[in-house]
């Protein structure tokens, strides 16, 4: 049963018109947001992979998409842009340090995007941006101490302490690569027994296939098989829940968040995820403040909405210019 979701694409509210990009390993999402914060022209195109020219190719694509928006929506003039990318990202310096399946190293994206498009740019990590979107407009809104965890192909999180994002040079929030079992399966990061290697949607699919010999399309299919009595699926699903619960309990002990918001593909499982997870977390904790476990509200465009919110922040110095032109 699905936990009901709110309107997945909330308005940003009143402010500058901005253009936003969420560059993923496979696809690039883009959209224009008008002065009332409504999303226009959402598009999804393959991310260009061109070896050492990848950064240049991405900037070219951003320029092309922006030109298309100018033609399609002549009344909406973006005063700033927002860009989010995966991997290790130093928000403060505006640099993409590296990403697993994209070939950049220390790419100064914020400056490059700003020079290329001629508008100021906000730049951040995709999951941190999704966290900002949940914190400002979604399920994390009521909380000052809150962690937004995104469980999909991988697992990452966005930490807010006293209402502010905790970034630590881009290294904070990598909960997917915290070890939950030193004897566990190897992880793509090179370590062994990371949460991501057991608890991610990607790991659920991989482990089910390896143990049963049967390919499945997604973690939801493994869940369905578990619910209809497939014992291999039950084991894989259950060990994923155990792993996630252990990480949540560690977060509760260290950060004591009021709530942990869970989004990404796996959260679509709704009560089938949240009910057993709450029970497991409860059993692991003693005196700790028990975090509320709540589903994300913004849905799959949270990273893009976060990019747009970052662009709005950058636009503050430019609104006067926009009004003069």
The Cα–Cα gap between 252 and 288 comes to 7
Q: Quickly tell me which residue has 């909330």 as its tokens.
A: 10
Nearest CA to 159 among 171, 170, 145, 169? 145
Q: Least Å distance between CB 153 and Zn ion?
A: 13
177 vs 278, which CB is nearer to Zn ion? 177
Q: Least Å distance between CB 195 and Zn ion?
A: 8
Determine contact, residues 24/81, Cβ cutoff 8 Å: no
Q: Least Å distance between CB 89 and Zn ion?
A: 17
Q: Per-residue DSSP letters for 36-58?
A: T--EEEEEEEEPP--GGGHHHHH
Pairing of strands 164-166, 155-161: antiparallel
Q: Least Å distance between CB 202 and Zn ion?
A: 12
197 vs 311, which CB is nearer to Zn ion? 197
140 vs 187, which CB is nearer to Zn ion? 187
Q: Least Å distance between CB 205 and Zn ion?
A: 17
DSSP 291: P
Sequence-ordered list of residues with C-beta below 8 angstroms from that of 183, at least 6 positions apart, any chain: 192, 193
Residues binding Zn ion (CB under 5 A) = 177, 187, 189, 191, 194
70 vs 191, which CB is nearer to Zn ion? 191
DSSP 229: T
119 vs 127, which CB is nearer to Zn ion? 127
């Amino acid at each position: 049963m699905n936990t009901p979701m709110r309107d997945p694409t909330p308005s940003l509210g009143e402010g500058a018109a901005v253009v936003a990009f969420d560059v993923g390993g496979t696809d690039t999402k883009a959209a224009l947001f008008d002065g009332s914060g409504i999303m226009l022209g959402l598009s999804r195109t393959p991310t260009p992979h061109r070896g050492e020219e990848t950064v240049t190719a991405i900037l070219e694509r951003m320029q092309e998409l922006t030109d298309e928006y100018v033609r399609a929506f002549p009344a909406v003039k973006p005063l700033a842009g927002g860009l989010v990318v995966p991997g290790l990202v130093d928000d403060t310096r505006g640099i993409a340090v590296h990403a697993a399946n994209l070939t950049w190293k220390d790419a100064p994206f914020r400056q490059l995007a700003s020079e290329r498009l001629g508008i100021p740019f906000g730049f951040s990590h995709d999951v941190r941006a999704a966290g900002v979107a949940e914190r400002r407009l979604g399920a994390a809104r009521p909380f000052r101490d809150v962690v937004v965890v995104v469980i999909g192909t991988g697992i990452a999180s966005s930490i807010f302490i006293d209402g502010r994002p905790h970034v630590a040079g881009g290294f904070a929030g990598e909960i997917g690569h915290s070890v939950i079992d030193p004897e566990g399966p190897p992880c793509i990061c090179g370590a062994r027994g990371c949460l991501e290697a057991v608890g991610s949607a990607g790991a659920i699919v991989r482990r089910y296939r390896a143990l049963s010999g049967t390919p499945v399309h997604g973690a939801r299919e493994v869940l369905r098989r578990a619910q209809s009595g497939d014992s291999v699926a039950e084991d894989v699903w259950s060990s994923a829940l155990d792993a996630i619960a252990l990480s949540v309990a560690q977060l509760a002990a260290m950060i004591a968040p009021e709530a942990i918001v869970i989004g990404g593909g796996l959260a679509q499982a709704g009560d089938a995820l949240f009910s057993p997870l709450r029970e497991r977390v409860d059993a692991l904790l003693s005196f700790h403040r028990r975090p509320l476990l709540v589903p994300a509200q913004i849905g799959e465009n949270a990273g893009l909405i976060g990019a747009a919110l970052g662009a709005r922040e950058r636009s503050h110095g430019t609104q006067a210019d926009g009004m003069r032109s």
